[in-house]
Amino acid sequence: MRIQKHGPTAFVVAVVLAAALTGCGGGGDDKTAATPSAKTSAPGGPDKASAAPSEEPSQVLAQMKGEEGIAVTLNEATRDAGGFVTVKGSLTNNGDSAFSATFWTGPEKEVQRSGPSVAGAVLVDAVGKKRYYVLRDTEGKCLCTMGLTLIKPGETRPLFAQFPAPPEGTTEMEFQLPTMPPAKITIAEG
């Protein structure tokens, strides 16, 4: 009978504890509590693939305008201590029909797994006469924005791509993306 006597008490204690822990979210109905942690996550963290800018970029390095109203704005090119350069920006569909970046994946067979993406982007060092291709993971997918399909007219999506870093002191580069005109950018130290 002892188990039956303490069984309901243990159940009530467990329910009370579960309710108390559920209420310890530190913000209740305040929806802004989650925003700072999303903005301050470390590079390479779980939200790295999305590369969604948390606020309007303050600087424009270059703009590229392509056919059918497609525009790419580059806002940041940073050399990181890990030996790579990260380029960030956005894609805006100013056209009249949906856009998919199928031609931006590039012709290389290895990156076709990336699907509609910016896998075909290249950084060109004209002085050093060298091209830097988008980095890839062990499965051959690009370290760049993927899933660029059915971008509606008027829609803007964030972009990013990571490249091997050029030699120290090399800061003037050209960013190239298939079907778009090239753009000159300056790499900042991270």
pLDDT one-digit tens code per residue, 28-84: 444 333 333 333 333 343 333 444 444 555 688 889 898 888 999 999 999 988 889
Q: Where are the domains of the chain?
A: 2-36, 50-189
CA dihedral 47, 82, 79, 75 (to 10 degrees): -10
Convert 131-155 to b/e letters by CB count within 10 Å (16 or more is b): ebbbbbeeeebbbbbbebeebeeee
List, for residues 169-187, the tens digit of each pLDDT value: 888 999 998 988 999 999 9
Query: Residue 151 in contact with residue 158, Cβ under 8 Å?
Result: no
Check if the beta carbon of residue 151 is closer than 8 Å to that of residue 72. no
- CATH placement of domain 50-189: 2.60.40
The pTM of this model reads: 0.66
CA angle 169, 172, 175 (to 5 degrees): 130
Q: Is the pLDDT of residue 14 over 60?
A: no
pLDDT score, position 57: 54
146/174 Cα distance (integer angstroms): 22
Q: Which residues contact 19 (CB under 8 A, 6 or more apart)?
A: none
pLDDT digits (tens, 9 = 90+) for 114-155: 778 888 899 999 888 899 999 988 888 888 888 888 989 999
Higher pLDDT, 21 or 72: 72
Kindly state the tokens that stand for 83: 């030996």
